[in-house]
Structure 1
Amino acid sequence: MLNDVADASGEPMGGWLLLIYRIPSEPTRLRAAVWRRLKGLGAVYLQNSAAALPAGAAAENALRKLCREIIEMGGTAVLMSCGVLVSEAAVLAAFHAARDDEYEEIIDKCQDFLGQLDKEYKAEHFTYAELEENEEDLVKLRNWLAKVTDRDVFGAPKRAATLEAVATCEHALEEYAARVYAEEAEGD
């Protein structure tokens, strides 16, 4: 079953990494820290304190490091390499859903970005300072997209729409920049 699964590049997957852990209930920040780290890696929870990632050297290194940190917190952690015998489609669906949620957040931020540019046009704010601020926002969007696409080893359905949304932002900013340069040239 697992050998039939391919990542977004079409390469066959080499199994799964499963982290099963237990953390002391107090302080709660420890649980939150582990949850954030796993989310940042792109892991999905199969149940409480059991998270899965597609196998790979980078994922294994990151999970090994996290295991050491959990143990240093006074918890327990077991990292296993495994295959899914039953319900692999459900695990893949969880990965797609997790990435699609992240892509949807980026699409929402792209709408916010375009709305901000629209406000600049309506207020006739065509300054280098406004352009620089919007360029910084676009860089943040691009960086966020890069992190999510790195985690998206299976090519989630909303990936294409998100790439298109960021491209739309890039084009809109280019048009805004042209207007800023034209306005600044007229002011000279």
Structure 2
Amino acid sequence: MKTQNWLLLTYKVPPEPAKKRIALWRRLKGMGAVYLQNGVCLLPKTDDHTRRLKMIENEISEMAGESVILETIALDQAQENKVVGRFKADRDEEYVEFLDKCKDFEAEIAKETAASHFTYAELEENDVDLKKLQSWLGKIRKLDFYGATLAAEADQRLQTCEALLDTYAQRVFEAHDENK
């Protein structure tokens, strides 16, 4: 098996203003970083991650903080598996949240269908919600570096939501054709 290279960022920033420290944490998590402990995070080594970490390094300096970026590999396969497991667990947490929102979407479509509420306004609202789900899943996939276990289920669930909205749209169009 090919050895995975990672970028390790260690940093220390002043506690105040907390807003800057929190923004830094959010940016790193938004890149898909896994925190090994406070101020120590890991990302797969890519040109994009290298460039973005160098920019973050400059921001940390501007905050009067300190940082070091290292390229590293795991000591052995067991250690590598632990790290990959952490990445997968983080993504699975996001997939669980996504699946919950899909359940909400499905319930909304079922409620509107049961109430025979087939309006263009409702269709537009549900279409906006579906687009949010599609965008959100795209963002999670982009950070799913190692194929988290819930990825396939999330893909399938989104397809279900898309099919439900297509069926609902057809009912809206039929309801409006009948009213003419």
- Map residues 91-102 of structure 1 onto 2, 5 A cutoff: 91-102=83-94
After the TM superposition, which segments of 4 or more aligned residues of structure 1 sit over 6 Å from their partners? Answer: none
Given the alignment of the two structures, is residue 69 of structure 1 paired with residue 59 of structure 2, yes or no?
yes
Please provide the CA RMSD for this pair.
1.2
Given the alignment of the two structures, is residue 4 of structure 1 paired with residue 2 of structure 2, yes or no?
yes
Deviation of the 1:80 alpha carbon: 1.2
Deviation of the 1:124 alpha carbon: 2.1
Name the structure 2 match of 1:156: 148
Deviation of the 1:4 alpha carbon: 2.6
SS state at 1:4 partner: coil
Percent identity at matched positions?
45
Name the structure 2 match of 1:20: 10
Q: Deviation per CA, 1:107-152, whole angstroms, max 9, x where unpaired? A: 1100011011112112322111111111111111111111111111
Give the TM-score taking structure 1 as reference length: 0.91
CA distance in 1, matches of 2:155, 2:33: 22
Name the structure 2 match of 1:80: 70
For residue 78 of structure 1, what is the amino acid of its counterpart? V
Gaps of 5+ in 2: none
CA distance in 1, matches of 2:64, 2:113: 55
CA distance in 2, matches of 1:117, 1:17: 44
- Map residues 52-67 of structure 1 onto 2, 5 A cutoff: 52-67=42-57
Name the structure 1 match of 2:128: 136
CA distance in 1, matches of 2:60, 2:108: 42
